[in-house]
Amino acid sequence: MSRVSLVETKPVRERVSEAEWQTRIDLAACYRLVARYGMTDLIYNHITARVPGEEGHILINPYGFLYTEITASSLYKIDLGGNVVLKPDTPYGINHAGYVIHSAVHGARHDVACVIHTHSRAGMAVSAMTCGLLPLTQTAMRFYGQVSYHPYEGPAIDLAERARLVRDLGANDVMFLRNHGILTCGRSVAEAFNLLYWLEMACKAQVDCMAARTELELPADGVAAKTAHLFAPGTRRVYGEMEWEAMLRQLDREDSSYRN
């Protein structure tokens, strides 16, 4: 047997750095949490994370797994050109549309460590509203003045769309893909999940308010801007980091197999 074959038969845990393994655990946990809070779309959509210390390498899920099946060792490692760097022990490949969206953000935003894209019911609903996300609640005001919008171009399989995705996202960490879904990105897996969770809650509240068919109270722009400032990462603390340990404890109580 060749040396290459011997290396490839080793468990993933023995083929990656400590930093990558920890990122794999966090990313697998994020998949499980997105499923736990009802933001999945069967086997579709993606959460990706940058591999620490490896320029241009990201982790992505196999195309065919439910989010509840993702583990640290089941993730693909690919480069931003879509080439497989490390293949897990699975017959499934990767989804090209997911690669297009995520490689665009990771390639342009070097401050971003994790990107999440979902097709949740509330997220899709707000993505189709001309008004976009409104500052109807404190949760929504967290994102005031920091939301981007990208017009729908069809399923994201055209590599040329990457430049337009990056242009529309700009320096923001949240973007609505019109008539499609939502995208969040963060400096860590924890931060990206936290943004997604609260954005989803804001979308749900907006859909409920608008469905009530009653006059709605909107805060003054100054109040909404002040609220967004107080929730900004550099103002008090980075939201998501403290909550993350609690989320992991919750997962471990229920099913710790994501760590495998």
The per-residue pLDDT for range 6-61, each reduced to its tens digit, is 346 789 999 999 999 999 999 999 999 999 999 999 999 999 999 999 999 999 99
What are the DSSP calls for 110-162, one per residue? Answer: TT--EEEEE--HHHHHHHT-TT-S---SHHHHTTTT-EEEE---SSS--TTHH
Mean pLDDT of 227-251: 86
Instruction: Give, in order, the Cα–Cα distances in Å from 123 to each of 8, 119, 128, 175.
Output: 40, 7, 9, 10
Higher confidence at residue 96 or residue 25? 25
How many C-beta atoms surround the C-beta of residue 142 within 10 A? 22
Greatest Cα pair distance in the chain: 73
pLDDT tens string 187-222: 999 999 999 999 999 999 999 999 999 999 999 999
Cα separation, 34 vs 2, whole angstroms: 41
Q: Which CATH number fits domain 3-259: 3.30.450.40, 3.40.30.10, 3.30.110.40, 3.40.225.10?
A: 3.40.225.10
Instruction: Give, in order, the Cα–Cα distances in Å from 76 to each of 25, 152, 216, 227.
Output: 13, 28, 46, 39
> What's the pTM value of the predicted model, to 2 decimals?
0.92
